[in-house]
Amino acid sequence: MIYPPVRLRHSLKKLPHKLKKLVNGESVASARRHTLRLLRPNRFPLEPKRIIETIDAQGFGQIRQRYGVKGPSLDWPKFLDLERWVDINIRRIREIELDLARPKRILDLGCGAGYFLYIAQLLGHKGLGLDLDQLPMFGDLTRLLGVRRVIWQIKAFEPLPDLGKFDLITAFLICFNRHKQANVDDLAKHLAPRGRVWLELNQEHDGTFYTPELKEFFQKRGAKIDRHKVVFNSGLLSPVSTSPVAR
């Protein structure tokens, strides 16, 4: 029996995976992203060091001195770990493909320290954050980063303030339970044509991200669900009768 060369055998082993990528569209999507990056070479480079260099080091140092604590912490001072959160938000930017998109108007619900919107603004997007004013540290950070923020408490069945239309509405590390509530259907009114809602849910104590009922709620509105990520397009449905949903 004549065996194919080692290099050819190695290529044949990879073939099923490559065929799978073609079937599920991974190769097409990857080629599209690569092409767009070639066509838009002048975007701000998404490198943690380059991004951190744009932030006022003296101002950030003063905030770190004011609110930081010694040793690892699970409390709010963890958001002062600049390298970590810049890296996290670079990944978010890439996953949403804001590094490839034309300038968009973005509303970030629960904007926190403002890192996500800051990086988006470096890429030419316009951002607006929505959050409570309970943590002075977040106020100091968003002011330092030049991120616009509206103070607002999101409550079930109460519409968001009239802030205009957005191409993208985001919310990260959110919990859908009785103590953090929001009317998901109301978001449709704030989306521009062909806009998107991008939600990333926090893991609950039982290891889940949502109940079966909440998953059904999302699916009925046309959401694309990928474990902790829930994405709606501008045509998301708003049934006449909806259940209370928490943020």
User: Cα separations (Å) of 194 from 117, 166, 183, 191, 229?
Assistant: 20, 10, 20, 8, 19
Q: How many CB atoms lie within 10 A of CB 195?
A: 23
Query: pLDDT by residue (tens digit) across 72-84?
Result: 565 678 899 999 9
Average pLDDT, the chain: 81
By three-state DSSP, how is residue 228 classified? coil
Q: Indicate whether this model's pTM tops 0.85.
A: no
Q: At residue 234, does pLDDT exceed 60?
A: yes
233 confidence band (pLDDT: 50, 70, 90): confident
Q: Which pLDDT score is estimated for 8?
A: 54
By three-state DSSP, how is residue 236 classified? coil
Q: Quote the tokens at residue 232.
A: 């709606």
